[in-house]
A and B are shown apart, each in its own frame.
Chain A
């Protein structure tokens, strides 16, 4: 900034209007801003769904370690796919960052908004898990393959049998 030429008080109008008239600067089109807003909304929604999904899987994986989980804590720590909750946290943080871009966010207590968002994500994931959504998904071939993939390293979870899966988890 200091290297720039100093602008006299009355020349701001002249300098700016000269750039406008000579088309050195041009207005960005309306669709640019509409598209930007759409991307932010889509990104936020995607990250929110991603967070719920990954938190739900985390809860599901924790449950799949079965009763006496504390006893098998070491085994669980060794085999648990930590990237799943890690990715859930990253998605949530990115979602919060995008939320900050919304106009309304600064009008509220932002810490409360974040707390509400995190609580909602965990609550929805918990409800989905308890409604047995994971077990319903496990009956679908391609989703079961995904679940098997994330649990490849976890000996506590084996999801090979189609009909027996639900019994195994419950």
Chain B
């Protein structure tokens, strides 16, 4: 009998997918789909392209699943794949894609809180868009995806100290851009 999937860690599910049942991979998709689309949208600036990127990311992750080291964090690994896919798309298109202001944000607080948060995020989107990718990427992961410095280091493959430096520079940059936009 299968255990309750929602109680299992990502790494345990990956082990099961590799060893027993491929269909359990759907659980991984359910867990990460929304988060990864949000992340890819922040990076690329287009929700539809982000969908494509995430789908390709899940396919690539499945193909390479046996190459994943289960002693490491699965979330960093899958974010890394989507990050690479997103960067490839950006490099392919070169010109930045139009930002989608109608992007939906799911809030957990009250309606007012949700509205304020959505407004802040919407404004931040505009400022973020103008930032270079090297600052936009760690800022998104830290503030919007709530990843730790260690996790960001694993996703972007840069030293933890560089993550810290980029985030603190990004804060200054973001402040300047947002003030200019007022």
Smallest CB-CB A-B distances: 4 pairs: A33-B67, A106-B157, A7-B51, A13-B29
Q: Which segment of A18-26, A44-52, A129-137 sits at the interface?
A: A18-26
How distant is A128 from chain B, measured CB to nearest CB, in Å? 33
How distant is B17 from chain A, measured CB to nearest CB, in Å? 8
User: Which residue of B29, B49, B52 contacts A16 across the interface (Cβ within 8 Å)?
Assistant: B29
Question: Roughly how many angstroms separate A8 CA and B51 CA in the complex, as a whole number?
Answer: 7
Question: Roughly how many angstroms separate A13 CA and B93 CA in the complex, as a whole number?
Answer: 26
- Interface residue? B22 (CB, 8 A): yes
Assuming the contacts A7-B51, A33-B66, asked whether A107 and B23 have C-beta atoms less than 8 A apart, the reply is no
How distant is B160 from chain A, measured CB to nearest CB, in Å? 8
On whether the beta carbons of A17 and B26 are closer than 8 Å, the reply is yes
In the complex, per-residue mask of A2-31: 1 if CB is within 8 Å of any chain B CB, else 0: 101011110011011101110001111110
Closest residue of chain B to A15 (Cβ to Cβ) is B55
Q: What's the count of A-B pairs with C-beta under 8 Å? A: 84
Indicate the size class of the contact surface on chain A: 20 to 34
In the complex, per-residue mask of B40-68: 1 if CB is within 8 Å of any chain A CB, else 0: 00000000110111110011001111110
Known A-B contacts: A16-B25, A27-B18. Give 10 more (CB < 8 A).
Answer: A1-B93, A7-B55, A12-B29, A16-B29, A16-B62, A19-B59, A20-B25, A25-B62, A33-B66, A107-B153
List the A side residues contacting B161 at CB < 8 Å: 109
How distant is B158 from chain A, measured CB to nearest CB, in Å? 6
List the A side residues contacting B30 at CB < 8 Å: 13
How distant is B78 from chain A, measured CB to nearest CB, in Å? 13
List the B side residues contacting A4 at CB < 8 Å: 52
Question: Roughly how many angstroms separate A141 CA and B52 CA in the complex, as a whole number?
Answer: 62
On whether the beta carbons of B159 and A107 are closer than 8 Å, the reply is yes
Closest residue of chain A to B156 (Cβ to Cβ) is A106
List the A side residues contacting B23 at CB < 8 Å: 17, 20-21
On whether the beta carbons of A28 and B67 are closer than 8 Å, the reply is yes
How distant is B5 from chain A, measured CB to nearest CB, in Å? 14
Closest residue of chain A to B60 (Cβ to Cβ) is A25
Assuming the contacts A20-B23, A106-B159, asked whether A28 and B64 have C-beta atoms less than 8 A apart, the reply is yes
List the B side residues contacting A30 at CB < 8 Å: 66-67
On whether the beta carbons of A1 and B158 are closer than 8 Å, the reply is no
On whether the beta carbons of A29 and B89 are closer than 8 Å, the reply is no
Question: Roughly how many angstroms separate A26 CA and B64 CA in the complex, as a whole number?
Answer: 9
Closest residue of chain B to A107 (Cβ to Cβ) is B159
